[in-house]
Amino acid sequence: KQEVTQIPAALSVPEGENLVLNCSFTDSAIYNLQWFRQDPGKGLTSLLLIQSSQREQTSGRLNASLDKSSGRSTLYIAASQPGDSATYLCAVTGAGSYQLTFGKGTKLSVIP
């Protein structure tokens, strides 16, 4: 059974700092890995999708990498802003499935 772990569970940084969020998964036979953002009491916003054949994806100040063989992904946020404060969730789908297995998330606070 796939398990997804996110470290750290919470992170507080001053505005402007670059930061890295970590995600690991136990079964390397994934189809896609997706990073989401969730604001309190809200739904999920898709940030980046990395297909299993890809190594990284970039969108603006966000860069996500995938090392499928080691079961790891990182989300890099450059020049953090208070508006980046949210919970970041990592999720994977298995081969032939669209069911997402989620980590518990990293709660990010960017202090002005």
Partner 1 sequence: SAVISQKPSRDICQRGTSLTIQCQVDSQVTMMFWYRQQPGQSLTLIATANQGSEATYESGFVIDKFPISRPNLTFSTLTVSNMSPEDSSIYLCSVVDRTRGNTIYFGEGSWLTVV
44 binds partner 1 (CB under 8 A): yes
Identify which of 50, 83, 43, 81 has the alpha carbon closest to the alpha carbon of residue 66: 50
Query: Toward partner 1, which CB reaches closer, 42 or 61?
Result: 42
The amino acid present at 19, given as its one-letter code, is L
Query: Toward partner 1, which CB reaches closer, 14 or 60?
Result: 60
As a whole number of angstroms, the distance between CA 110 and CA 15 comes to 6
Residues that bind partner 1 (CB under 8 A): 31-32, 34, 36, 41-46, 49, 51, 89, 91, 93, 98-100, 102-105
